[in-house]
A and B are shown apart, each in its own frame.
Chain A
Amino acid sequence: NAGVTQTPKFQVLKTGQSMTLQCAQDMNHNSMYWYRQDPGMGLRLIYYSASEGTTDKGEVPNGYNVSRLNKREFSLRLESAAPSQTSVYFCASRNTGPGNTIYFGEGSWLTVV
């Protein structure tokens, strides 16, 4: 029962390097999300995709790009990593509709040095 799977779980990057966080869900959900979690800031929405083929900016999109590859997969890319992007990143998914439950992956710990 996989749910939402994100990789890698841990990553250390040098400033200026690029990387992509991968996310896949097996629940046939329409909407997918990327959040970052920082101490004292809670979870902040980076980007979301309401359906296959669409993406929208969230609260903190700067420095990130996303791709909704298909209904299952939603990737987050850091083109030129900065220390301010050191964070825990969570992918999530849910069916479209206000009351539907959101399901989270286990998180990806990213450190930019």
Chain B
Amino acid sequence: AQSVTQPDIHITVSEGASLELRCNYSYGATPYLFWYVQSPGQGLQLLLKYFSGDTLVQGIKGFEAEFKRSQSSFNLRKPSVHWSDAAEYFCAVVHNQAGTALIFGKGTTLSVSS
């Protein structure tokens, strides 16, 4: 079974600074990877996903992620953070070959300082 690890529990970034959130996944023949964001008291919203093709994936709200098979990583990046980006971010991987179950990492909380 695949799994996903988010090494950073909490990150604080200054507004306007760049951001990188880390995600590592366990070995799988074809990893299907996702990033979701959750604002306080809200449900989860898909930022972007990767399952084939170009290893640099563009998402909504100016986010991008790069899939690196050699490092088993799928890190999320944003060139310039806005205060509204403060939220919890989850990396997720498809759990089984049938593609029926999605497993989430424990999340990284992003705080944005002015």
The 8 Å CB contact of A101, one of B49, B90, B101, is B49
Assess whether A17 is interfacial by the CB under 8 Å rule: no
Q: Which residue of A lies closest to B32 (CB)?
A: A98
- Contacting pair B90 A96 (CB below 8 A): no
B-side contacts of A48, CB under 8 Å: 100-101
| B: number of interface residues (CB 8 Å) | 25
B-side contacts of A97, CB under 8 Å: 99
- Contacting pair B101 A45 (CB below 8 A): yes
- Contacting pair A43 B101 (CB below 8 A): no
- Given A33-B101, A33-B102, also A99-B32 (CB < 8 A): yes
Q: How far is the CB of B110 from chain A (nearest CB, A)?
A: 14
B-side contacts of A99, CB under 8 Å: 32, 49, 51-52, 99
The 8 Å CB contact of B102, one of A40, A102, A105, A106, is A102
- Contacting pair B101 A104 (CB below 8 A): no
Q: Which residue of B lies closest to A30 (CB)?
A: B100
- Given A45-B95, A90-B44, also A58-B101 (CB < 8 A): yes
Assess whether B17 is interfacial by the CB under 8 Å rule: no
Chain B residues packing against A (C-beta within 8 Å): 6, 9, 30, 32, 34, 42-44, 46, 49, 51-52, 90, 94-95, 98-107
10 smallest A-B Cβ distances: which pairs? A98-B99, A42-B106, A99-B51, A98-B32, A50-B100, A43-B104, A104-B43, A98-B94, A42-B107, A104-B44
